[in-house]
Amino acid sequence: MAPQPGGAAWQDAGMELGTRGIRSSGRGSGSIEITLPSRLRALSGLNCQITWQDSPVPQVTLTPDLSLARAALARLWGLLLPALGLPQQPLPAMQVSLYGGTALIWEDALTLSRSAPHEAAAVGQVLAALLILALPAMPPGHAVALAYLATGAVADSAYQADCAIAARAFCPRAAAPLDGFGDGLWQSVARLAPPLQALRTALAADQARYRSLCAAVRTGAPLDLTGLLP
């Protein structure tokens, strides 16, 4: 997971998503309509600006109004920084994808732009990505683990072991809908961040122990954290 994650390969390459026919929306209406590919389902309900470009190969561009999603990300950013003990600063410029692994994706931001409760998976994914944006030195597994403890959702299964180790040390929240802007979530982040950081520091100093714990997670063996917790 990168601080400014890119989109899927088809997005980065500007790949065409298929061919659709333009049809009349009904006799006498004067309007036309087109069905967009299912990959764009996350944009359902949004207003789009329509732009026509004259050229040897004319183009019609649809620009979705994602202002509410951007505002939701900025609001979450403003809650995250004080929870981590960091000074307030504007949300940095970043790339947000339509789809992604642990990247920031528009679908999650749009979910958070709506009224609570919000799906835990959306909150967890956004939180993990913003954590790395706020603390670039934070390993992805640590960010995913902290987001998991606070939301109960694993943002990236590649870091399942980190989440399991964190869960053994601390009590994660049940994966149920929550208010992504509620005091409870951000109090949890503030409370869990320091002890989880202490655990990460201890494991970083003992890589053999960390590898042993990851192996135990894969095999289902008990996790022994003796001597690692304050």
Task: Examine the pLDDT at 30 and tell me if it is beyond 70.
Answer: yes
On whether residue 7 sits in a domain, the answer given is: no
Residue-range definition of the domain harbouring residue 84: 67-197
Which tens digit of pLDDT belongs to each residue from 199-224?
Answer: 999 999 999 999 999 999 999 999 99
Burial (CB < 10 A; 0-12, 13-18, 19+), residue 154, is buried
Token duo for residue 182:
């509620």
| Angle of the 140-151 helix axis to the 120-134 helix axis, nearest 10 | 140
Read off the amino acid at residue 35. Answer: T
Q: How many CA atoms lie within 13 A of 45 on its CB side?
A: 8
Instruction: Report the relative pairing of strands 48-53 and 59-64 from DSSP bridges.
Output: antiparallel
On whether residue 212 sits in a domain, the answer given is: no
- pLDDT value, residue 111: 95
- pLDDT value, residue 97: 82
Query: Which one has a higher pLDDT value, 152 or 37?
Result: 152
On whether residue 177 sits in a domain, the answer given is: yes
Tell me the mean pLDDT in the region 54-69.
Answer: 94
On whether residue 58 sits in a domain, the answer given is: no
- pLDDT value, residue 100: 59
Measured in whole angstroms, the distance separating CA 162 from the mean position of its chain's CA atoms is 17
Which phi and psi (to 5°) does residue 163 adopt? -70, -40
CA-nearest of 141, 106, 111, 148 to 127 is 148
- Domain total of the chain: 1
On whether residue 136 sits in a domain, the answer given is: yes
CA-nearest of 221, 134, 78 to 146 is 134
- pLDDT value, residue 6: 36
Task: Examine the pLDDT at 18 and tell me if it is beyond 50.
Answer: yes
Which tens digit of pLDDT belongs to each residue from 146-200?
Answer: 999 999 999 999 999 999 999 999 999 998 999 999 999 999 999 999 999 999 9
On whether residue 192 sits in a domain, the answer given is: yes
Task: Examine the pLDDT at 2 and tell me if it is beyond 50.
Answer: no
Token duo for residue 18:
């298929």
Residue whose tokens read 């900025």: 74
Q: For residues 43 and 97, what is the distance between their CA atoms, to the nearest angstrom?
A: 12
Which tens digit of pLDDT belongs to each residue from 88-141?
Answer: 999 988 878 876 554 788 999 999 999 999 999 999 999 999 999 999 999 999
Confidence of residue 11 (pLDDT cuts 50, 70, 90): very low
Confidence of residue 14 (pLDDT cuts 50, 70, 90): low
Beta bridge partners of 32: 24
On whether residue 133 sits in a domain, the answer given is: yes
| Angle of the 183-204 helix axis to the 160-169 helix axis, nearest 10 | 100
On whether residue 91 sits in a domain, the answer given is: yes
- pLDDT value, residue 1: 41
